A and B are shown apart, each in its own frame.
Chain A
Amino acid sequence: MSKKKKRGLKEEYNLFTRDLDWEPGYVSWDEMYPYAKMEGIKIHDWSRWEDPFRVTIENYVRIQAEKERKFQAIRENIDLMQSQLDISDARWLEAMKLFMGAAAPSEYNAHRLFQFVARHVPSPAIRFAALTQSVDELRHVQDQVLMFNNYNKYYQGFHSWRQIASRHWLMSVPKSFFEDALTAGPFEALAAISFGFEVVFTNILFVTVGSMAVKNSDHTYTGVGFTSQSDESRHMTLGMMAIRAMLEEDPDNVPIVQRWLDKWYWRAYKGFAVVPYMLDYIAPRKLMSWKEAFEMYIEDQVFNGLFKDLEPYGIRLPLHAKDSIKEKDHLTHQVALLLHRLPHVTFFHPFAPNEQDKAFLAEKYGSTWTDLWAKKWEQQTDPNHDHIYPGLPQLCQTCQIPMIFSEPDNPEETCFRHSVHEGETYHFCSDGCKWIFDQEPDKYKQAWLPVHEILQGNCGPAEKLPEYWGLEPEDTGDYYESLNYKNFTKWKEMRAQSI
């Protein structure tokens, strides 16, 4: 079969993307790129770097339009086919509230971040890839908001995602993550999101969640998840290109890049601590456990794959990678127990695992489940004791998650770390978070910690907190007492009777 194209992909890319760069004439190079040198990254020859995807504006627009057409067709079908009733159980939507509630505003922040990178990193290949990524992120947030609209027609809890995203205490976790990256220099911003987040973590987040949505027959998320995910390979490529350019251009860049990998691996790992809970607990039909997903995507593909390839440049595994490996048996249960104690202040409905969930956890986690976490759940759900925690939890200064994580070598002992800076004591959930603070205490001392702000009266009177967060009374409480559960059960019965 013959190709009728005048120019090949390679030539097309060089002509219309990479070589369209120009030398500034009216201002100096330093004036045009004011942040390019502030982080100490040295680049000698930008012109030899190109995007392996070889994206030109022409094929970008054509391919993205095709993706968008596919997504809109799926979206219309959902209404047509009454697919909202196909969902395995409305309980699945609690995962969507958590996951999409955090992801949609994060996509918007990523859009802003890649505008910044596209403006300030002086490489034509990176600037164009960052520009297309910033447009991608905007498409994602818009499609995801459309998805909230779909859910909203039938289910409770998706009506004020915007207010929840900017005010709810749980949402300060992803928000602080992206704002941390947004307030870094352009190269760190790029390393943080393109590499630390896209290359290392998006697989475990979006591919497994998308696949889980298929298994739970949530056609809405399947549509939006896969269309968003289809841009991720390009984003990962930008991350790899950027990291390798920095590592190959000058040996002085290596320790700087290593420090960013150390920091952003841990930031991303902690920032997405609710994902294990979605995989192991929320999903009515399970796909794989967090432990299996972590082993496949992080240990196998990232630590044993990617990092081996970066070894010759002098790069080693992220500083606290070992702690995350040790935690893979426990993290999911710690998060699940925490949220089960706080059903009155969450914007989704937590619940205790049922018999089916427990059988899955026993199979996947073996003795750590039977000897330790199953017993904790027995205590937690003992009807003679109130399981609700009425106070405000202590938060980690860096990741902003309540202090629930254990010592790496002892899952029964809660990990507490602290640092003193300018006479003030700051608290951390882990060695990783303490290390990050100690590198830049003047940045993290400014963290907007929801619990501190509530206590200072900056979030209005305590009894009106749910209102401040954008919640209605039926948004909180245990799933099995919720309106969604009652409606879903009723609709399923009606559907069964009508056949």
Chain B
Amino acid sequence: MTVAGERSRYVGVDLTNGHVTDAVIESVEQDNPSAKITRFPGYAKVEAIEKLVINRETVEEALGEEWNTEDLQLIVTSYYGFIGEWDDDQIIIQWDNV
């Protein structure tokens, strides 16, 4: 499908500040070459072009302890894009019709 976009389309999540968010951000920067992090009071906007991947293993490495992907619910306040996958190992947010 073709979409007439003048520029790259980001997807993203808004995460409330805290140590888990710091670990998720670290993992996102590692696993997504186009990652863009913007800090706002109280939260961070974490974006990537067209597809954003959060890997459990990378988050656990950054966090230094076990982490369930479903616990992203505790820190995510908003997102844009579609949830392409959410299983035990990975969360993918993407635009489907790009």
Q: Mark B46-79, 1 if CB is under 8 A from A, else 0.
A: 0000000000010010000010011101111111
Closest chain A residue, CB of each to CB of B4: A308
Contact of A8 among B60, B75, B88 (CB under 8 A): B88
Contacts of B43 in A (CB 8 A): 207, 210-211, 226
Contacts of B14 in A (CB 8 A): 203, 207
Known: A287-B40, A305-B10. A230 touches B88 (CB 8 A): no
Known: A210-B77, A230-B73, A234-B73. A215 touches B41 (CB 8 A): yes
User: Are B77 and A233 closer than 8 Å at their CB atoms?
Assistant: yes
User: Are A207 and B77 closer than 8 Å at their CB atoms?
Assistant: yes
Contacts of B77 in A (CB 8 A): 206-207, 210, 226, 229-230, 232-233
User: Are A305 and B74 closer than 8 Å at their CB atoms?
Assistant: no
Known: A233-B73, A308-B5, A311-B3. A212 touches B41 (CB 8 A): yes
Verify if A487 is at the interface (C-beta below 8 Å from B).
no
Verify if A453 is at the interface (C-beta below 8 Å from B).
no
In the bound assembly, the distance between CA atoms of A240 and B13 in angstroms comes to 15
Give the interface segment out of A27-35, A52-60, A336-344. A52-60
User: Are B81 and A305 closer than 8 Å at their CB atoms?
Assistant: yes
User: Are A305 and B1 closer than 8 Å at their CB atoms?
Assistant: no
User: Are B74 and A312 closer than 8 Å at their CB atoms?
Assistant: no
Verify if A355 is at the interface (C-beta below 8 Å from B).
no
Verify if A250 is at the interface (C-beta below 8 Å from B).
no
User: Are B66 and A1 closer than 8 Å at their CB atoms?
Assistant: yes
In the bound assembly, the distance between CA atoms of A240 and B42 in angstroms comes to 26
From 266 to 321 in chain A, residues with beta carbon under 8 angstroms from any chain B beta carbon are 287, 301-302, 304-306, 308-309, 311-312
In the bound assembly, the distance between CA atoms of A309 and B51 in angstroms comes to 13
Verify if A213 is at the interface (C-beta below 8 Å from B).
yes
How close is B13's CB to chain A, nearest CB, in angstroms? Answer: 8
From 202 to 236 in chain A, residues with beta carbon under 8 angstroms from any chain B beta carbon are 202-203, 206-207, 210-215, 222, 226, 229-230, 232-234, 236
A contact patch SS: helix
Known: A67-B74, A210-B42, A211-B40. A301 touches B16 (CB 8 A): no
How close is A124's CB to chain B, nearest CB, in angstroms? Answer: 18
How close is B76's CB to chain A, nearest CB, in angstroms? Answer: 5
Verify if A380 is at the interface (C-beta below 8 Å from B).
no
Verify if A63 is at the interface (C-beta below 8 Å from B).
yes
User: Are A237 and B73 closer than 8 Å at their CB atoms?
Assistant: no
Closest chain A residue, CB of each to CB of B13: A233
Contacts of B60 in A (CB 8 A): 1
Closest chain A residue, CB of each to CB of B98: A309
How close is B19's CB to chain A, nearest CB, in angstroms? Answer: 13
Contacts of B83 in A (CB 8 A): 52-53, 237
User: Are B5 and A226 closer than 8 Å at their CB atoms?
Assistant: no
Contact of B80 among A210, A213, A234, A301 (CB under 8 A): A301
List 21 A-B residue pairs with CB atoms under 8 Å apart, sorted by A's residue number.
Answer: A1-B57, A52-B82, A59-B70, A63-B70, A67-B74, A202-B78, A203-B78, A203-B80, A210-B43, A211-B41, A211-B42, A226-B42, A229-B77, A230-B76, A302-B80, A305-B9, A305-B80, A305-B95, A308-B97, A309-B96, A312-B1
Apart from A54-B86, A63-B73, A312-B97: 19 A-B pairs, beta carbons within 8 A = A1-B66, A10-B87, A52-B84, A53-B73, A203-B14, A203-B80, A206-B77, A226-B43, A230-B16, A232-B77, A233-B79, A236-B78, A287-B40, A287-B41, A305-B10, A305-B80, A308-B5, A308-B9, A309-B3
